[in-house]
Amino acid sequence: MPKSISMNNIVVAAETIESLEKRIQRLEQENAELAAKVAWYEEQFRLSQRRRFAASSERSKSTSEQLELFNEAEVEAQTPPPEPTVETVTVRRVKKPGQREEKLKELPVERIEHRLAGEEQVCPQCGDALHEMSTEVRRELKIIPAQVKVVEHVRQLYSCRRCEREEIQTPVVKAPMPKPVQPGSLASPSAVAYVMTQKYVEGMPLYRQEQQFERQGLALSRQTLANWIVYSAEHWLEPLYERMHRELLNQDILHADETTLQVLREPGRAAETTSYLWLYRTGRYSPPIVLYEYQRTRAAEHPKAFLAGFKGYLHVDGYAGYNGLADVTLVGCWAHARRKFDEALKSLPASKRSAPVAAKEGLAYCNRLFAIERDLKELTPEERYRRRLELSRPVLDEFCGAKGTRPAQKCLWPGHSVLPGTVGEVGGVFERRAVGDRQQPERAIDQALCDRSKKLVIREHPERGEGERDGVQHRGDRQGKRAESLRISSVPV
């Protein structure tokens, strides 16, 4: 060892090398984390661009088998054999007869006959009299706009002449007359029904209805229309709502969902504060009931209070607020899991979408399950149960095995966090009537909200907690139609 190198220098050099190695490891780890973040942001950017500019449909362009064998023909066909001679046959598409009659058969028909006058029924060739040979029929649709008229209820009052002559107490007898919808108001059942339908079914705000009535020569302010709605809801619809609520709790299969909205002029809260509209509806084989409930928060206490007394299966989207419900078996949503796989696949670069990635594999499994359910849609619950065990069970077991080999990270198995909670229960059975697709309640809750482009929000009535509502602004993604899927229960049914 050279005399110029002391032991202290060796120690310092060793410590420096160790420090540099640790720094290199830290920098490599930070670089890997930053690279992962950049890749994640790039995926989110591509997904955002597709949501903004591309088609919003989640429909796969090919079946699950085609997803796995996308370029099989190109790979295998090295030297293509000569193509066989194909005879070209031109098939002329024949329009199905009677389609127009089928569309118009439920409509009333107004017949207008066009005849020649008596003096005109003369042959232009020889001057002899003409006779009716046949008829030509041309059909057209006639649309009658809404008509407004005043209906006067005139009630006769009766008294007794004899009592009047003898100066004793004279009874006044009134003819029976229907009670008004709202005392002291111009509202009639048809008027209130029209205003409610225009607003809540057709999505026309009250200020536009006010303008529409004004063009018809009728001055009805939006405040008057709002009072009609609030009064009728309190006195006529609320008892019906409570009766439907009791009937809903007696069912064995329900759906639940919630979405955000804004409420203006709510005491003690800013207009930008997020509120929630909760939805509860019955299943396919029960009486159709859809109930909405407004709440200020998304707390678990709200479904717990609304569903108190319900015992059965509840279709949800994986929100943890439903986990505390007693005597309720939660049913997961395969459509949400499929959407995560679809989004993950779309977020990849185009060059990697044909590769055997986890998102593609999960999407293929979901497509196979959905394809089976489409074929079982019209079967009875008992037949569907038997066919699910025969067809869907092997696919689901294979899916669970593939899921078990994947880490829990969303980047590798993107649908992991939203998969139905009972998907891993091998001992579970397929419930006969429950489905795992929640598109029906999501479409129902979407129908309750006006289109976001109208930029409207709910306005709180000054005299009550849930009153006048001029419109809403929806801040959730709109769901498309999708075939109903399956669910798995860990409890024999």
The per-residue pLDDT for range 31-44, each reduced to its tens digit, is: 999 999 998 888 88
Q: Which amino acid is at 393?
A: R
Show the tokens assigned to 50: 């597709």
Show the tokens assigned to 194: 């029209």
Per-residue confidence at 489, pLDDT binned at 50, 70, 90?
very low
Best mean pLDDT range from 38-42, 208-212, 477-481: 208-212
- C-alpha–C-alpha distance, residues 232 and 468, integer Å: 12
- Within 136-205, residue ranges assigned H as helices are 161-165, 189-196
293 CB burial (10 A radius; 0-12, 13-18, 19+): middle
The dihedral sign for the CA sequence 407, 413, 411, 324: negative
pLDDT of residue 58: 66
Better pLDDT: 472 or 208: 208
Q: How many CA atoms lie within 13 A of 247 on its CB side?
A: 15
Q: Which amino acid is at 130?
A: L
Q: Is pLDDT above 80 for 361?
A: yes
DSSP 106: T
Tell me the mean pLDDT in the region 393-422: 56
pLDDT of residue 412: 33
Tell me the mean pLDDT in the region 469-493: 33
Strand duo 290-295 + 312-315: pairing:
unpaired
Q: Is pLDDT above 70 for 422?
A: no
pLDDT of residue 96: 65
Cβ contacts of residue 32 below 8 Å, gap of 6+? none
Contact 381, 285 (CB under 8 A): yes
Q: Which amino acid is at 47?
A: L
C-alpha distance from residue 359 to each of 77, 110, 274 (Å)? 28, 59, 33
Per-residue confidence at 103, pLDDT binned at 50, 70, 90?
confident
